[in-house]
Structure 1
Amino acid sequence: MSAVPFVVVHPDPAVLAQAVAARLITRLTDVQTERGTASVVLTGGTIGIATLAAVAASPARDAVDWRAVDVWWGDERFVPADSPDRNEKQAREALLDVLDLDPERVHPMPASHAGLSAEEAADRYAAALGSGVAFDVLMLGMGPDSHVASLFPGHPALHENDRLVVAVHDSPKPPPTRVSLTFPAIQAAREVWVIASGAEKAAAVRVALTCDQLAAPAAGARGVEKTLFLIDRASAAEIPGQ
């Protein structure tokens, strides 16, 4: 069973990023208090990276034992490791490089290099995840077309029911080749947070809350214990009653 989405609206993107950062610090601290370790899946995009920067700037960030946090990614552009398009590179610059992390617990998706296909990269990441994947927090940005991770409307990956990670080709957003978690991996997470800001996301937020995942991929962003849509006022404009 998946948790019914709960919508939290913040005034603007800056407050949204700060609020999500505070929520993330609290969640990781609570999980570590209970179990000793915690796991988080990072997202890229403007608001996702702004959230990571807000964590870096927060005086409360040291409440988390970062050496006991496993860091994963929801998707990645299949480009060279030093490309500025890499979600990993952006995350390291915004947050990870200032944290005392255990390098063995940081799990970037493979970059492109000679002889490695996107399919092989997906298989390697799935092997790293293992079969018992259940992230404590999985954060996802959302596009105006309602895509999450690199699961785009009309793409074959939406129909994947077995594999946890797939290669994605012909992405409508450049670069065209990517690696992405699938719905089976996303929907195994304990908590899934969809983070969106801006008026151009308003229609996507509405359909994500009212349609199915084949019509609107973000509708498949559901956690086992909790599903949160953490959004700003502009992106909430088409939700009835907001």
Structure 2
Amino acid sequence: MSAELETVAHPDKESLAAESAERVLDVVVAAQDERGEASVVLTGGSMGTAVLAAVAASPRRDEVDWSRVDVWWSDERFVAGDSAERNCVQAAEAVDGALVLNPDRVHCMGSADDFGTAEDAAFDYRRELAAAADAEHRAAAFPRFDLALLGLGPDGHVASLFPGRPHVHEDDATVLGVQDSPKPPPVRVTMTLPMINSARRVWFLVAGADKAGAVAAVRAGAPLERTPGAGVRGTEETLLLVTDDCLPG
């Protein structure tokens, strides 16, 4: 079962980041109350990093035992490990040491320093996901995700799943190498839609009038071929957290 899409509007980027951060904290606290730990899938982009910065700055951050939070990424640029283009580097800069995470629970995708190809990095991430699933005694090839955060490109892409590319139609919940991203850098690693959609909650974080067309396409359920984001659904909740200028006047 998947959750229907719900749109929540905010007047500006600042309120979107602040309110989304409080939502994130609510989910993580609830997950730890339920089973002692939590697992989140992060995204890159300006809003993704703004929300992380707001989480780190929140006076409620100490409600969470950050050492018992698993952090994953839905996609990554296959570039040097210290490149500012990498989502995990941007995330680390956003929290600036304010969240005391267990390094063994921070699951960055492999970089071009670590692997010869994006396919090799994807294979390694699949292996890491499987090991986490085994530790949870799950039959699936990946662990439980309490929350997945996603951006949305003006073209309707999510993670590194772009319109017109075959990865959008992948049926398996897996991680793939991408060689031909139309947005630089062209080589990336990405989760597929079935893996993203395994998360209990999936939230888009979208700001700016340039995203209005993509937001409208997602809300209308446009074909995946044209708008990959239209295929996103969490198992319990799917939220489109947007600024007002993303919506019709």
Q: Output the TM-score relative to the length of structure 1.
A: 0.95
Q: Which residue of 1 aligns with 2:223?
A: 212
1:195-210 paired onto structure 2 within 5 Å:
195-210=205-220
Q: Secondary structure at the match of 1:234?
A: helix
Q: Secondary structure at the match of 1:84?
A: coil
Q: Which residue of 2 aligns with 1:21?
A: 21
Q: Secondary structure at the match of 1:109?
A: coil
Moved more, 158-167 or 17-26: 158-167
Q: Are 1:110 and 2:123 counterparts?
A: no
Q: Which residue of 1 aligns with 2:61?
A: 61
Contact 1:4 1:227 in 2 (8 A): yes
Counterpart CA distance in 2 for 1:80 and 1:44 is 16
Contact 2:52 2:91 in 1 (8 A): yes
- The RMSD of aligned alpha carbons is 1.3
Contact 1:133 1:185 in 2 (8 A): no
Q: Which residue of 1 aligns with 2:247?
A: 236
Amino acid at match of 1:233: D
- Aligned mate of 1:169, from 179, 182, 188: 179
Counterpart CA distance in 2 for 1:105 and 1:146 is 30
Counterpart CA distance in 1 for 2:102 and 2:12 is 34
Contact 2:115 2:121 in 1 (8 A): no
1:28-43 paired onto structure 2 within 5 Å:
28-43=28-43
Q: Secondary structure at the match of 1:39?
A: strand
Structure 1's consecutive aligned runs of 4 or more residues displaced over 3 angstroms after TM superposition are none
* Deviation for aligned residue 1:163: 4.8
**Number of residue pairs the alignment of both structures matches:** 238
* Deviation for aligned residue 1:46: 0.7
Counterpart CA distance in 1 for 2:239 and 2:119 is 31
Contact 1:4 1:222 in 2 (8 A): yes
Q: Secondary structure at the match of 2:6?
A: strand
Contact 1:77 1:178 in 2 (8 A): yes
Contact 1:21 1:52 in 2 (8 A): yes
Counterpart CA distance in 2 for 1:218 and 1:115 is 29
* Deviation for aligned residue 1:213: 2.4
Unpaired runs of 5+ residues, structure 1, are none
Moved more, 88-97 or 139-148: 88-97
Amino acid at match of 1:11: P
Q: Output the TM-score relative to the length of structure 2.
A: 0.92
Contact 1:41 1:138 in 2 (8 A): yes
Q: Which residue of 2 aligns with 1:127?
A: 127
Q: Which residue of 1 aligns with 2:133?
A: none
Unpaired runs of 5+ residues, structure 2, are 131-140
Q: Which residue of 2 aligns with 1:183?
A: 193
Contact 1:39 1:136 in 2 (8 A): yes
* Deviation for aligned residue 1:150: 0.4
* Deviation for aligned residue 1:215: 2.5
* Deviation for aligned residue 1:214: 2.7
Q: Which residue of 2 aligns with 1:86?
A: 86
Contact 2:145 2:200 in 1 (8 A): yes
